[in-house]
Amino acid sequence: MASTTKPAVLFVHGSWHNPNHFKRIMDLFEATGFPSSCPAQPSVGKLPPIGLAEDAQCIRDELKKLVEAEQKDVIVIAHSYGGIVTTQAINAEFSKKTREAKGLAGGVRRLVFMCAFLLPLGDSLGSAFGGSLPPFIPIDEQGMCLMLEPERRFYNDLSKEEQNHWTSELKPCPAIAQLTPITHAAYLHHPVTYLFCEQDEALPLSVQQMMVQKVSEETDITVETETCTAGHSPFLSQPEIVLNLIRKVTG
């Protein structure tokens, strides 16, 4: 008989953000029976050379706990730069299909890219913008960066009060994390869904669509897609839409 236990949901936050930004959506998921976590990535607020490698290891460590120790099924939801972390971090060994073949319980059932970077091997976040960070992500003398106009770019579909609050939670990140090429492609080993966000002013819809098309063509994988009207932070402005998507992909 099939288990009625809902999978755990692992949120992988983007640059400058932290788990506080995801508390609203995690509370919603928990209230509807989906155990949720969002580990704080070590690069946020830290000087280089800390970067992508450490962030990816953080996610692998969380999956070792959820999948290997607790033997849970897991849905991974990656946001923005979190898509790069996810792509780098999640090896085939975590796959539900791979573990089932070995007689093991638990495993990653699906990767969900939520207005997140979905890139070919050898590319970085900077590659998606033509090879370097765009002018609205300046780099200071310590090698740190922070998005300009974050209220508009990240939270344009929230109230002014919320824009100010969530902006106050942001911290600078080492630019090296966004310029390091990926050396592993998790999407080759796990089913993938991409949530397009139409009003995104940080990662425009056209760029989201271009990334999905490029990876699909270059790898021949199938990326299932869904679309919502949110800006760059649907976990704050449209958490119910994200929940409904996860309900759909988990049957």
Torsion of CA 212, 214, 218, 220, to 10 degrees: 30
Confidence of residue 2 (pLDDT cuts 50, 70, 90): very low
Q: What are the tens digits of pLDDT across the range 24-44?
A: 999 999 999 999 999 999 999
Please give the pLDDT value at position 35: 98
Identify the CA nearest to 64 among candidates 99, 31, 29. Answer: 99
75, 157 Cβ separation under 8 angstroms: no
CA 138 to CA 175: how far, in whole Å?
9
Q: Quote the domain boundaries for residue 183.
A: 8-246
Please give the pLDDT value at position 220: 87
Q: Is residue 107 part of a domain?
A: yes
Q: What are the tens digits of pLDDT across the range 157-170?
A: 999 999 999 999 99
Question: Given a cut of 90, is residue 149 above it in pLDDT?
Answer: yes
Question: Given a cut of 80, is residue 4 above it in pLDDT?
Answer: no
Q: What are the tens digits of pLDDT across the range 87-136?
A: 999 999 999 999 999 999 999 999 999 999 999 999 999 988 888 999 99
CATH, residue 22: 3.40.50.1820
Q: Is residue 160 part of a domain?
A: yes
Q: Is residue 2 part of a domain?
A: no
13, 21 Cβ separation under 8 angstroms: yes
Q: What are the tens digits of pLDDT across the range 42-58?
A: 999 999 999 999 999 99
* Total number of domains constituting the chain: 1
Instruction: Give one DSSP letter per residue of the chain, joined into a string.
Output: ----PPPEEEEE--TT--GGGGHHHHHHHHHTT--EE-PPPTTTT--TT--HHHHHHHHHHHHIIIIIIS--EEEEEEETTHHHHHHHH--GGGBHHHHHHTT---EEEEEEEES-----TT--HHHHTTSS--TTS-B-TTSEE--SSHHHHHHTTS-HHHHHHHHHT---EEHHHHHSPP---GGGTS-EEEEEETT-SSS-HHHHHHHHHHHHHHH---EEEEEE---S-HHHH-HHHHHHHHHHHT-
Question: Given a cut of 60, is residue 1 above it in pLDDT?
Answer: no
Identify the CA nearest to 114 among candidates 216, 198, 28. Answer: 198
Q: Is residue 3 part of a domain?
A: no
Q: Angle at which helices 52-63 and 82-89 pack, to 10 degrees? A: 60
Q: Is residue 251 part of a domain?
A: no
Q: Is residue 1 part of a domain?
A: no
What pTM was computed for the model? 0.97
Q: Is residue 147 part of a domain?
A: yes
Q: Is residue 144 part of a domain?
A: yes
